[in-house]
Amino acid sequence: MLPFIAEEIWVPGQCVIGLQWGDEAKGKLVDLLTEGKDLVVRYQGGANAGHTVVIGDDVYKLHHIPSGILNEGVLNLITPGVVINPPTILAEINSLAERGIVVADRMKISCRAHVVMPWHVLEDKMWNELVSGEDNIGTTLRGIGPCYGDKIGRSFAIRMGDLIQPDFADRVRRIVAVKKQVLSAASGNQDVALDAEAIISEYTEYANQLKPMITDTNRILLDAVDADKNILFEGAQGSLLDIDHGTFPFVTSSNSSGVGISTGSGVPGNWIEKVIGVTKSYATRVGGGPFPTEQENDKGQHIRDMGNEYGTTTGRPRRCGWFDAVAARYTARLGGVTSVALTMLDVLSKLEEIEVCVAYELKGERIDYFPSHVNDLRNLTPIYETLPGWQIDVTGARSLDDLPLGAVQYARKIESLIGRRIEFISVGPDRAQTIHIPEGKSLEAHLKAKTA
């Protein structure tokens, strides 16, 4: 058990979700919390995710595979809410094998999970090209939206279980015939690069390789729940990218907030005891869409440089800005968050002053809620409070006592604005660069003792 994490953390049903627009360091948290777990479950999203785990000199970038894979003795599940790109997941499995991690022994994939097919990637690219300017979503081009679209539409969907059914070939032929017509009409190109027979033989081969891992994960998960096993759920993306509750249409196509745990995995919602909401000490976003506290200036560039804020999946520079407490409070409440992990505190260490958005001004009025419409989100003005920086390197801190008072005061301010207890503070990418604040201890009590 990691020495700096107190025992009370090991409860049976626990989830890690992002409270912002993704890349909050969920992968780091999941890896940390995997110890002592029986199962780690990825329940939504697909290869659009990029979760980084740093263990000493080893850096792992995981897209499809749950971040629990690096711990032996843990079963990793990919459940029905995930969309899977077979060649991509196989490449990930092979690259882990080259590093000595045999995924097949420790991972199962739901036969209900939908398959990202070549036409989905073509559609994603084409729909992105057809919409320009500020309406462009700027997706990861991994075929995510079109695949989820076909899942909801049903008629043109393929699930992992279908890959190994006798009617797979006919299904592909039927779908390709329609997709070619649609893509030709949309692009004006009569020669859409979709060859049904080539796809059938390619995907049959992928299915052969993945077959030992494809199963009904609902049965495994419900049996595990009955047996009171320790299960950790790994959210992908961030709550503000949630298809129903995020900054629509600039979102991903799954329920990436806390409300998606149950639908994506197949466990009853009331069984999840603990939801850890992960948030950066500032804010970032990749792709298009409103970002009220964005700093398109030297402050934003400073954060990007200090935090190495470039996308794990696409390498795109991440848009950077100040912490938005209105948004984080909204997503923490939406997701039933029980405690918060505040990450990247080290990134702010050089700043003299740090701004925190505490409310918005919209149409001349001060508001403290997160607006639902993209036009309101675009037109509001953040109201900031300015806090002093601490200007001391915190990357070596391992307890609250090691942190400068200014850094604890900053964290406490964020905690009080979100309205949820901060349980973890992360001061660097490595597992060890983490401060755990167990129940019974608090930032407030720490500050009182220090300033008495």
Candidates 426, 436, 443, 446; binder of ligand GDP (CB under 6 A) is: 426
Kindly write out the interface string for residues 40-59 of this chain, putting x where it contacts ligand GDP by CB under 6 A and - elsewhere.
Answer: ----------xxx-x-----
CA distance 80 to 145: 16
Q: How far apart are CA 19 and CA 335, in angstroms?
A: 9
Q: Is 314 in the site for Mg ion (CB under 5 A)?
A: no
Residue closest to 53 by CA, chosen among 74, 25, 23: 25
Rg (CA), the chain: 22
Tell me how many residues contact Mg ion (CB under 5 A): 3
Structure tokens at 448: 């009182």
Q: What is the dihedral of CA 343, 349, 353, 356, to 10 degrees?
A: 0
Residue 235 contacts ligand GDP per CB under 6 A: no
Site for ligand GDP in 291-320 (CB under 6 A): 307, 312
Based on the shown chain and the rule CB under 5 A, indicate whether residue 45 belongs to the binding site for Mg ion.
no
Q: Does 25 bind ligand GDP (CB under 6 A)?
A: yes
Residue 170 appears among annotated catalytic residues: no
The yes or no reply on residue 23 touching ligand IMO (CB under 6 A) is yes
Which residues have CB under 8 Å from 421's CB, separation 6+?
Answer: 338, 339, 340, 415, 437, 442
Interaction between residue 50 and ligand IMO (CB under 6 A): yes
Alpha-carbon gap, residue 297 to 362, rounded angstroms: 23
CB of 25 to ligand IMO, least distance (A): 9
CB of 286 to Mg ion, least distance (A): 8
The answer to whether 246 and 288 have CB atoms below 8 angstroms apart is: no
Site pattern 262..291 for ligand IMO (x: CB under 6 A): ------------------------xx----
Q: Which of 51, 63, 64, 120 is catalytic?
A: 51
Q: How far apart are the first and last CA of the chain?
A: 34
Q: How far apart are CA 323 and CA 280, in angstroms?
A: 8
Work out whether 23 is an interface residue with Mg ion (CB under 5 A): yes
Question: Catalytic residue at 51?
Answer: yes
Residue of 23, 124, 242, 346 marked active site: 23
**Binding test (CB under 6 A) with ligand IMO, winner from 34, 79, 237, 239:** 237
**Range 385-390 contact pairs with CB under 8 angstroms and sequence separation of 24 or more:** 385/355, 385/356, 385/358, 385/413, 386/353, 386/354, 386/355, 387/353, 387/354, 387/355, 387/356, 387/413, 388/352, 388/353, 388/354, 389/348, 389/349, 389/350, 389/351, 389/352, 389/353, 389/354, 390/349
Among the listed residues 101, 137, 183, 432, the single contact to ligand IMO using CB under 6 A: 137
Helices (H), 324-404: 325-334, 374-379
Q: Which is nearer to ligand GDP, 52 or 301 (CB)?
A: 52
Binding site partner of 425, from Mg ion, ligand GDP, ligand IMO, none, Cβ cut-off 5-8 A by kind? none
| Span interacting with ligand GDP, options 26-34, 85-93, 116-124, 165-173, rule CB under 6 A | 26-34
- Note whether 50 binds Mg ion by CB under 5 A: yes
The site for ligand GDP (CB under 6 A) is made up of 18, 22-28, 50-52, 54, 307, 312, 343-344, 346-347, 426-429
The site for ligand IMO (CB under 6 A) is made up of 18, 21-23, 48-51, 137-140, 142, 144-145, 236-238, 241, 252-253, 286-287, 312
Catalytic amino acids?
23, 51
